Structure 1
Amino acid sequence: MTTHTLAHADEIAWFGETFTTIVDAVGEALVGKDRVVRLAVTALAAGGHLLVEDVPGTGKTSLARSLAGAVRGSHQRIQFTPDLLPSDVTGASIYDPHQQRFEFRPGPVFANIVLADEINRASPKTQSALLEVMEEGRVTVDGVTHGVPEPFMVIATQNPIEQAGTYRLPEAQLDRFLMKTAIGYPDAAATIGVLSGLAERDRAAAVRPVIGTDQVLRLREVARSVHVSRPLLEFAQTLAERSREHRHLRLGLSVRGLLGYVHAAKAWAAGHGRNYVVPDDLKELAVPVMQHRMLLDADAQFDGVTVPDVVDELFDAVPLPAADH
């Protein structure tokens, strides 16, 4: 199969079953958060990165660890702090006196799933160390390029409450995250379920692999072959154009964001067992894909306008085309 052919029914059936299996496995660690888990698995299947903005103790680390465990992938956690250096992320060349030459020592970014915890606590210089690897899948140190493992995914977190000693993520870096979401607190029933299972100290560590990393690459290949009709592509393009002209926005949806929107919709559709995107797929993913890419102007922020409000306005102004596959 090539990326230009439509996915066959058996491939999509396999994708849907595998997608659900991963969601169920990760859901054992992140109880009661099915939508968040589905968004994370969609980002993984689409080849994108995920930004999670939430208060401490909601399961951000568990999400990354359990996702890595479910796909039999390597996992690294980087605790971002103000004194963290770029080489602490990417690795560095260390002189070996025995060999009388420099050897590259890979940093924690060389893993399948990388958790960048509280990314906004590090300096912009260190944050930018993630830019190349997130976009290109490689790291350049001392003029030598090193590829990271495939598949590769960054799950970054930031705390929206504590702003002291933090550095706002620049738009260029925010745009490299496919989606942004929040986990939130579990409902009463899920919380009681977690409390009743206190004997199991680490739910994320208990997640067993359900597929291998090679199958993640196959998921990505199948997702790319999902069909998007021309009316839906035109709708997405018009939506992006309108966002750039919206009265409340200083910055609208970029071309990279638009591409990510379509890629995410393809993976989301395949996760539901379809080899074509329907209008509801675009509607479901609009806020996760757009909320960190659109910048409100000062007046809108003062008036309490939110990005989801703007997204609703855009969908009202640009009617979704009828389902046609």
Structure 2
Amino acid sequence: MDKALACLTRLRVGHSKGRPAPNKPCLLLAILCEIQAGHITSPRVAIDDRLVARYHDLYELAAGVRREARPWLPLWFLASDRGPDGEAGSLWQPALSPALAEVADQLGAPGSLDQLLKRFDTASLHPELYARLASEEATREAGAHLVARYFSWSPDAQARLHDYLEDAFASGAYEKAPERLKGPEGDSPRQARARSAAFRSLVLEAYDYRCAASRLRYITPDYRYLVEAAHLVPFAESQDDRPVNGIALTPNLHWAMDNLLIAPGPDQRWHVSPSVDALVPDSRWLCELDRQPLVLPRDPRWQPDRDALAWRLDQLRR
């Protein structure tokens, strides 16, 4: 086994009912996925919504229940594990302030993610391990080792995790090269799933999980998002899964746009169909959107394509 990867099979994990606890392996699997998606680009790892949501996804697949995922525990206790150099605490080093670092051993485990983020919001993976994980082949090997070592008690969990990793790595390849999301899907079901997942991930992150119409942003305690990624020009017509052909919307407004009741226009404002009767009380929530500005991504690369906006406005029910 590769020396840099071997440390992943020697984690200090708790046990429950004779099984290794899934917390640390799931966190490391989440980190592997984020490296391959190009979201983690150095040994320094940001503790952000993407990573925590990915951890919840993997924990649910491994343990069968999402609400019991407690990401602050592996984020904190992984600091006790040995890296490729064999030194205790070298695998994962939280970026604590000097004052906190002096008393870290006395703090005890945080009781929530908010408490943990008050202590640190970034940590560093051992640089030798990160350097190996820059290779997709090594990342796949690392994922296989983690799944085999810590989930041998459940062939079903192993199969679910392997499927997730395959889809995540395929999706990550699109996220790193979003220009590849324009054009036919190809014949592979996995390729279609990967494109769809990449579209969703890129759009929701571009809008910071905020609805482009209502401005609502809500992430549940178990890291499910209120908003959905909606195509401006449907894929069946455009064969375009690039994020510039997408917009983040709450489910009700996604439905309203798909049913041609509302549309974003190239003027970057919302337009409401004249078929929506403003005198009907139940219609007011839609009518109030008329001429309101779109919430736009901060990164200009991901702002909606003007031609796609024009197409969508042309479809508005008259």
Report the TM-score when normalising by structure 1: 0.26
Larger radius of gyration: 2
Q: Greater strand percent: which structure?
A: 1
Q: Greater helix percent: which structure?
A: 2
Relative contact order higher in (CA < 8 Å, ≥ 6 apart): 1
